Structure formats: C-alpha cells, structure tokens
Amino acid sequence: MIKIYNKKETTTQNIFLFSEDDWEQEKSNYPNTEHFFNGKKSEVFIRTDSNEVNFFIGIGKDSKGFEIQAVANKFANDYKKNLQAVPTSVHSKLGLDLTEEFVKGLFLGTYLYPFEKSHPFWQENFELHFENISDDEAKNAALKTEAICNGQFAGMEWLNKPANHKKVDQISEFLKSTAEKYDLNYKVLNREESIKEGLGAFAAVNQGSSQEAAFTILEYKSEIENAKTIGLVGKCVLFDTGGISIKPSANLHYMKSDMGGASAVIGALITASELKLPVNIIAILPITDNAVSEKAYLPSDVITAYNGKTIEVLDTDAEGRMTLADGLSYLSKNYETDALIDLATLTGSSVRMFGYTCGAYFSNNDDLKKTLEKSADKTNQRLWNLPLWDIWKDDFTSDVADFKNISMKPFGDCIIAGKFLEQFIEGHENWAHLDIAGVAFGNVGYAKDKMATGYGVQLLLDVLENY
Ligand code: BES
Ligand code: MG
Ligand code: ZN
C-alpha cells in the first residue's frame, strides 16, 4: 500500500525538487553544489552526508503536470538501485496538482516486466512525507496513484507477455477474476456462441485459431444514479500473424502487442472501479488471435457482420477492423451509451503517418473531439484528428458485398479503417476511434527493447473523470 503523509520529521532519505528559478534563489545555501546542478528538467544530483542521502531533482522551468510526472517516473526508474525503502521527505514548492503528478510519476516509474513490486517504493517501510499538502490530500494522492498503478500495470503486463503466455484462456481467467474482485458484470461468448449471436466478422478472424474465441463484455456500474455511460471497445488480437495474408517475419514478434487497445481499456476499467468513478462503463474486448491454418478465413470470403452488413475479405491481415466492427455494433445495438470510444493498434499506416508521437483519431462529434484533445494534451498521451469524409467510402465498396475490408489504394489506410468502422456504429452520434498502433508499444525507460508504454490509461481516465 502506498503511504503518504503530511509530516515534518528528520528522515535519512530526502528528495528536494528545484525548478531552475528555485535553484537560482537557493543555491547559496548549498555551497559547491552549483557546479553540479542547475535545476534543469530531469537533472539529478546526490548529496550524501554522514547519515542521510539527499536527491536533488531538477524540474526545469514552468513544467506542466505531465512533465513533472515524467521527471519523477524517470527518477524512480533510474535510481531504483540507490533508493532505499525508508521514510522519505519530499521538499518542494509544488501545489497540490503538481505534487500529485510527481507522486504518480514516482510510482509509475517502478514498473518493470515482469512486475513484482520489487522496487524499494513498494516495500513496507517506504513512505513519503510532504509539508506542502495536507494529510487528507496526501491520502487522496496515495489512493489515486495506487489505483492508476494497479490499472496501468495490469494492462502493461498483459501487453508485454510473450505470445505463449497470453493465450485466450489465460487472459479470460484474469478478466474473470478481475470482474469478481471489482464487482463488475462479466459475460463472454466463445466461438460457437459468437457465431450463434451473429458476430460473423469476429468469428471469421477466430475460425483459423486453435484457441477459443472470447467476445468479452465487462460492465462497471457506478453507485451514482443517472451517471453517464461510456462504451469502450479495445482491439484484443493476442497475436497477429496476418492470417493467410501472412506478415513477413521481420519484426513479427512485435505482433504480440496487438492488444494495445484492450490493455488501455483494461487499465482504465480497473482504475475507474478502484476509484469508484461516477460513470458507468461498458467495455467490450473481442478476444482472439489471428492465426494461419487450414481453417483460417480466406481472401475473397464474404462474411456477414453482426449488424447484417456483408464484408468481402480481401486481406486477412486487416483483422482488427473485423473484430472491432462487431464489437462496435454489438455495443451500439445492445446498450445505451452517451459516448462510444474504441482503441486499437489498427494500422501500420498510422505509424507511418505519425511515428511514435501520437495516436491518430477520428470522431463524428465535435464535443467529443474537444474532450479527447484536452485530455490528450493534459496527459501527454497525444492524439491528432484525421477526417472521415464520405469520399473514402467509395474506396471500400465491393462488387460482391456491402464493403471490402481494405481499399486497393496504397495510401491512407488508417483513414479507410476509421471510415470502415463508422459503418458499424449504428448511427451512434458520439463516437471516436483511436488508432494507437504507434504509441501503445515502443521505446520505454524501463527496458532495452520495445515494451508497453501504458498509453491510453491516463488519457481515458481523464476523459472519464470529466464526463
Ligand atoms: N495489427 C496490425 C497493425 C499494426 C501495425 C499494429 C504495426 C502495430 C504496429 C493490423 O492488424 C494490420 O495488420 N494492419 C495492416 C492492414 C493492411 C493489411 C490493410 C497494415 O497496417 O499493414
Ligand atoms: Mg493484421
Ligand atoms: Zn492486427
């Protein structure tokens, strides 16, 4: 449990936060240190005295919340070997909001794969003492931080697992026990049930797999009456081989990360439940892998989706939009939601467009766009809006079905995919699609190779908190 107090007592481990301006004013109190420290962002200087260690951390100039969080995150990770599990005083002039961001960063920076709470911050004797926030504020910061860690780390952990450790049964077992723990409504449809229910597009992706399908619905109901309801759909392809339209082998191992949308949804759902947020959430995770086998769906197959629309499969590697199509229309047809948001590692096209800097997003509602962009800017889990003009629909109309699952043009596939998904929202007037292929899995401070970034959890939470 995270312990944070308002306390003033002598501790053997201390953290001093200095902005560049603070440092300018105070450096005369620390003779000689100015040759080593300026208060620049993420600068760290360690002063040891006979029986205490003082970490001076620079937070730069006018840093925003996400910057303070990032400084703390990096510090916790970089100094995990030097930090001790003892009461630790934090001396800073930050206000409440920035102090909360600092605390979040410290704890989010303890993540390593596999996550075992081995960092000194998670040990029994570690506690943080602040003088600049009250005891209640400290307690609240601890609760919030712990909830975010529990949510985000759970999502990251699943994303980071190798393909042979993230089988459908294993993640289903986890989701079921999570539902029990947080009192969520849990429902799952296996392959046979999905077919019976008419989830034809989702079932088509699963049909080549040796594993069951698990079309999963999780519901968090807030205790508040008349709370708004948010629908979330997360792409949950546990491994994407491409199917019969098989992917080249270079970098194929990264396709264990094709559940980045789901890991954001799982993280947000856990955190929201822990914080008892005053919104209802209906989360759908169409869980399957995209396998190659004699039973796999074939290019040219015509499939009937849940909403009755037919899809000509021209590329079995465009599987994400098949699973999401059914996820979206199932949610729209069976639940009343005030907003509908899907997140997916959907296209290489979005990665080629934006690299690792932001997700590409699409929406049919200007207010939702504003909400998303505000949260994205605030959390630094950036999003950039792309259009959904009708002209793109022509690119995927089919001669033998309502739609093709790809366009034949060699460009703009992330827009085509977004426009395709729009055909399955059943007239929902407040929908957004987040293509997070470039940002869910990538370079991180805690590992050498690409790993889960945690993208989406804080973004979704901020949206949920302000809805
Ligand atoms: N899972 C991939 C998209 C992806 C690419 C995610 C890179 C993360 C990093 C998706 O299922 C896919 O294969 N998309 C194809 C679509 C194409 C066949 C139209 C792609 O983007 O190449
Ligand atoms: Mg694919
Ligand atoms: Zn995929």
Residue 268: give its domain's CATH number.
Answer: 3.40.630.10
336-352 average pLDDT score:
98
On whether residue 152 sits in a domain, the answer given is no
On whether residue 158 sits in a domain, the answer given is no
On whether residue 160 sits in a domain, the answer given is no
Q: Does 403 share its domain with 286?
A: yes
Q: How many CB atoms lie within 10 A of CB 448?
A: 7
430 lines ligand 1 (CB under 6 A): no
Cα(10) to ligand 1 centroid in Å equals 55
Q: Does 241 share its domain with 331?
A: yes
Q: Which range of residues forms the domain containing residue 111?
A: 4-146
Kindly report the protein residue whose alpha carbon is nearest to atom 3 of ligand 1: 347
pLDDT at 49 over 90: no
pLDDT at 356 over 90: yes
Among 95, 115, 146, the domain-final residue is 146
Question: What is the pLDDT confidence band of residue 36, given thresholds at 50, 70 and 90?
Answer: very high
240 lines ligand 1 (CB under 6 A): yes
State the SS3 of the chain. Answer: CCCEEECCCCCCEEEEEEEHHHHHHHHHHCCCHHHCCCCCCCCEEEEECCCCEEEEEEEECCCCHHHHHHHHHHHHHHCCCCCCCCEEEEECCCCHHHHHHHHHHHHHCCCCCCCCCCCHHHCCCCEEEECCCCHHHHHHHHHHHHHHHHHHHHHHHHHHCCHHHCCHHHHHHHHHHHHHHHCCEEEEECHHHHHHHCCHHHHHHHCCCCCCCEEEEEEECCCCCCCCEEEEEECEEEEECCCCCCCCCCCHHHHHHCCHHHHHHHHHHHHHHHHCCCCEEEEEEEEEEECCCCCCCCCCCEEECCCCCEEECCCCCCCHHHHHHHHHHHHHHHCCCCEEEEEECCCHHHHHHHCCCCEEEEECCHHHHHHHHHHHHHHCCCEEECCCCHHHHHHHECCCCCEECCCCCCCCHHHHHHHHHHCCCCCCCCEEEEECCCCCEECCCCCCCCEECCCCHHHHHHHHHCC
The domain tally of the chain equals 2
Q: Does 196 share its domain with 98?
A: no
Check residue 58 and give left, alpha or beta (phi > 0: left; psi -120 to 50: alpha).
Answer: beta
196-220 average pLDDT score:
99
pLDDT at 140 over 90: yes
The span from the CA of 422 to the CA of 339, in Å, is: 14
Answer whether 348's CB lies under 8 Å from 437's CB: yes
Cα–Cα separations (whole angstroms), residue 99 to 72, 90, 119, 134:
10, 10, 21, 11
Ligand nearest to the CA of 346: 1
pLDDT at 313 over 90: yes
Q: Does 128 share its domain with 188?
A: no
Q: How many CB atoms lie within 10 A of CB 204?
A: 29
437 lines ligand 1 (CB under 6 A): yes
Q: Which atom of ligand 1 approaches the CA of 240 most closely?
A: 1
> Ligand 1 test: best mutation among 346, 404, 433, most atoms within 8 Å of CB?
346
The span from the CA of 12 to the CA of 122, in Å, is: 18
Cα–Cα separations (whole angstroms), residue 432 to 228, 284, 416:
16, 15, 14
Q: Which residues does the annotation mark as catalytic?
A: 247, 321
Residue the block writes with tokens 């109190």:
29
> Ligand 1 test: best mutation among 205, 292, 347, 415, most atoms within 8 Å of CB?
347
Q: Does 308 share its domain with 342?
A: yes
- pLDDT in the model for residue 343: 99
Q: Which atom of ligand 1 approaches the CA of 416 most closely?
A: 19
Q: Does 73 share its domain with 9?
A: yes
Whichever domain contains 129, its CATH number is: 3.40.220.10
Q: Does 124 share its domain with 212?
A: no
In 3D space, the residue among 77, 102, 95 whose CA is nearest the CA of residue 15 turns out to be 102
Kindly report the protein residue whose alpha carbon is nearest to atom 9 of ligand 1: 437
pLDDT at 50 over 90: no
189-214 average pLDDT score:
99
What's the chain's average pLDDT?
A: 98
Answer whether 328's CB lies under 8 Å from 425's CB: yes
Q: How many CB atoms lie within 10 A of CB 178?
A: 17
Query: Over the Cα atoms of the chain, what is R_g?
Result: 24
337-342 average pLDDT score:
98
345 lines ligand 1 (CB under 6 A): yes
On whether residue 311 sits in a domain, the answer given is yes
230-255 average pLDDT score:
98
The span from the CA of 340 to the CA of 144, in Å, is: 25
110-136 average pLDDT score:
98
On whether residue 161 sits in a domain, the answer given is no
Q: Does 66 share its domain with 187?
A: no
Q: Does 280 share its domain with 406?
A: yes
Cα(466) to ligand 1 centroid in Å equals 32
On whether residue 155 sits in a domain, the answer given is no
419-441 average pLDDT score:
99
Q: Does 433 share its domain with 399?
A: yes
CA 109 to chain centre: 15
> How does pLDDT run across 369-407, given as a tens digit for each residue?
999 999 999 999 999 999 999 999 999 999 999 999 999
214-220/185-189 β-pairing: antiparallel
Q: Does 198 share its domain with 337?
A: yes
Among 118, 146, 174, the domain-final residue is 146
Q: Does 142 share its domain with 205?
A: no
Question: What is the pLDDT confidence band of residue 206, given thresholds at 50, 70 and 90?
Answer: very high
On whether residue 324 sits in a domain, the answer given is yes
On whether residue 264 sits in a domain, the answer given is yes
Answer whether 419's CB lies under 8 Å from 349's CB: no
